[in-house]
Structure 1
């Protein structure tokens, strides 16, 4: 199942890029706490492995590639449930140097009948899911700790 959508982030791509990294998502995704089995200095280095837990499941992520400030891609496997990739591409948008158009593509394969049903539900809600990302990022950016930014909130669907 391939799902693609876009959001707009009120930061230039070079700054917005961090928001889509393992550690950067901690800023705006409620409950996102990546665990690195091997300590890493650069969480965007291809080959970096980390794990996340949501809804009682553990997902293993591997950074496949990155172009700083432009794109990052991940392989992800939730054993017994789903496997695939997530790609994030950032482009300048709107007023030069002020916004990014962020295209997010999930390419997922269900590993069980239950996962197939869950992925169908995820697909149905994908536009709202991405809208929640945009809202959470905007909330975080406008919060006091960021000068803006305190943690935002988003849900953890089957694709996260």
Structure 2
């Protein structure tokens, strides 16, 4: 029998954008702007509108991941996703954006993952998030967002 103990992780990054604009980057559509390989297949609603109860799929290699927005509070700049990769893991992802800076022109983004293995393979997959790997992943998000902002500013 495999160990299904959850792993909870949390890390924050600072993004040089106002709160609303930054929060939009963490919606399924918003992530297409800064993650080249992020191509969600919208199941409900089909038009990709971000709403509580939204369902979509993503594909990475041989894995298909089923996503649901289980809590969406745009006025509080908070979203919680549930994602399940069959035969591997179940994950809750929470994103909370908080204004920063003297003029609230920057945003701190807290990203929390709670991962539960669903198989021996899932145990290995969850372990791959441990230690500095999780922090490095979230810091890569910051780098990708800054690259996107540079391209956008340059008019690319």
Short-chain TM bin: 0.7 to 0.9
After TM superposition, give the deviation of residue 97 of structure 1 in Å: 2.6
Whether the 8 Å CA contact 1:44–1:72 is kept in 2: the answer is no
Out of 17, 21, 25, the position equivalent to 2:23 is 17
1:110 CA displacement? 0.7
2:66 to 57, 60, 81: 60
Q: Distance in 1 between matches of 2:124 and 2:149?
A: 35
Q: CA deviation at 1:94?
A: 2.0
Structure 1 residue aligned with 2:56: 50
Structure having the higher strand fraction is: 2
> Which of 104, 107, 116 pairs up with 2:111?
104
Does structure 1 conserve the Cα–Cα contact (< 8 Å) formed by 2:29 and 2:48?
Answer: no
8 Å Cα contact 2:53/2:68 also seen in 1: yes
Asked if structure 1 preserves the Cα contact closer than 8 Å seen for 2:45 and 2:54, the reply is no
Match status 1:132 vs 2:153: no
Question: Is 1:29 aligned to residue 29 of structure 2?
Answer: no
Partner of 2:4: none
Contact 1:140–1:149 at 8 Å: present in 2 too? Answer: no
How far does residue 23 in structure 1 lie from its aligned partner after superposition?
0.7
Q: 1:90 is matched with which residue? A: 97
Which residue number corresponds to residue 116 of structure 1? Answer: 123
8 A contact 2:69–2:82 mirrored in 1: yes
Q: What stretches of structure 2 of length at least 5 have no aligned partner? A: 1-6
1:42-68 CA distances to partner (integer Å, 9 max, x unpaired)? 632111100000122010100111221
Q: CA RMSD in A?
A: 1.6
- 2:84 is equivalent to residue 74 of structure 1: no
- Change over 3 Å in CA distance of 1:81–1:14 after alignment to 2: same
Quickly say closer, same or farther: Cα 1:98–1:58, change in 2 above 3 A.
same
- Tell me the SS of whatever aligns to 1:23: helix
